[in-house]
């Protein structure tokens, strides 16, 4: 049977359950920090943490076999959700709640999303060379976006922005517009390749299953 349509093997299911449990606990804890960690509750961050909680619960259901149809595709979507919600939640409070820096939490979320994505690939793309190529290319194209985002949002933000603002007008304009366009293209291409690596395998599995189903007489 196609690995997209079968339950996750034990060597993938257990890491998924562990990663999802950790993600759930971190989401609940960070949601509490968003509300109680400063004089004014950070409701935007609280909302993004709830999104991470929901994604972690869904990942737990995948690990338990409750969402058996295309678990690899489901996991990669949840990995993207954890990554985006984690970044937006930290950015919404400028990387700090009270006296607590959110940079360690953000790095943890990036690592957690990467782990879920790798588990999704292992679950869904076994033996699919074209799928692995798409997955790898999607990761490679996404790295510059993550690096630039980290440089702008991380502790080096002041130095990076100061370096850009210190450039002459024409080079600064070219860098800003050209770099922005390149990052926009990469930001569109990377998720597209990652999702298509899984969705094409899922579509093939559906066709294979349909061709083996007994025809009505």
pLDDT in tens, 9-37: 888 899 999 999 999 999 999 999 999 98
Residue 204 within any structural domain of the chain: yes
46 in any annotated domain: yes
- Which region, left, alpha or beta, applies to residue 65 given φ > 0 means left and ψ of -120 to 50 means alpha? left
pTM over 0.75: no
pLDDT digits (tens, 9 = 90+) for 179-208: 889 999 998 998 888 888 877 765 655 555
Q: Mean pLDDT over residues 108-117, rounded?
A: 92
Say if 28 falls within a structural domain.
yes
Domain span holding position 150 = 10-212
Q: Is the Cα dihedral 16, 81, 103, 37 positive or negative?
A: negative
Mean per-residue pLDDT over the chain, rounded: 84
> How confident is the model at residue 16, as a pLDDT?
93
8 Å CB contact between 116 and 78: yes
Interacting residues of 127 by C-beta distance below 8 A, sequence separation 6+: 3
Q: Could you tell me if residue 177 is inside a domain?
A: yes
Confidence of residue 159 (pLDDT cuts 50, 70, 90): confident
The residues facing 100 across adjacent strands are: 97
Does the residue 3 lie in any domain? no
How many structural domains compose the chain?
1
Distance CA 53, CA 175 (A): 38
Burial of 48 (0-12, 13-18, 19+ CB in 10 A): buried
Q: Does residue 217 lie in a domain region?
A: no
Beta-bridged to residue 101, according to DSSP, are 96
Residue 197 lies in a domain: yes
């Amino acid at each position: 049977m196609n690995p997209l349509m079968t339950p996750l093997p034990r060597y993938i299911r257990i890491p998924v359950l562990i990663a999802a449990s950790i993600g759930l606990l971190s989401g609940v804890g960070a949601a509490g920090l968003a509300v109680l960690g400063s004089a004014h509750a950070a409701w935007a961050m609280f909302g993004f943490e709830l999104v991470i909680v929901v994604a972690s619960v869904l990942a737990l259901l995948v690990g338990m076999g409750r969402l058996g149809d295309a678990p690899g595709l489901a996991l990669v979507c949840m990995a993207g959700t954890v990554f985006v919600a984690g970044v937006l939640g930290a950015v919404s409070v400028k990387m700090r709640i009270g006296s607590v820096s959110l940079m360690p939490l953000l790095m943890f979320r990036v690592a957690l999303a990467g782990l879920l994505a790798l588990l999704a690939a292992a679950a869904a793309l076994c033996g699919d060379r074209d799928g692995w190529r798409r997955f790898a290319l999607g990761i490679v194209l996404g790295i510059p976006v993550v690096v630039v985002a980290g440089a702008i949002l991380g502790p080096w933000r002041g130095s990076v922005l100061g370096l850009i603002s210190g450039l002459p007008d024409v080079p600064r304009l070219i860098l800003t517009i050209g770099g922005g366009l390149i990052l926009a293209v990469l930001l569109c291409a990377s998720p597209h390749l990652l999702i298509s690596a899984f969705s094409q395998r899922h579509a093939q599995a559906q066709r294979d299953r349909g061709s083996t189903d007994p025809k009505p007489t």
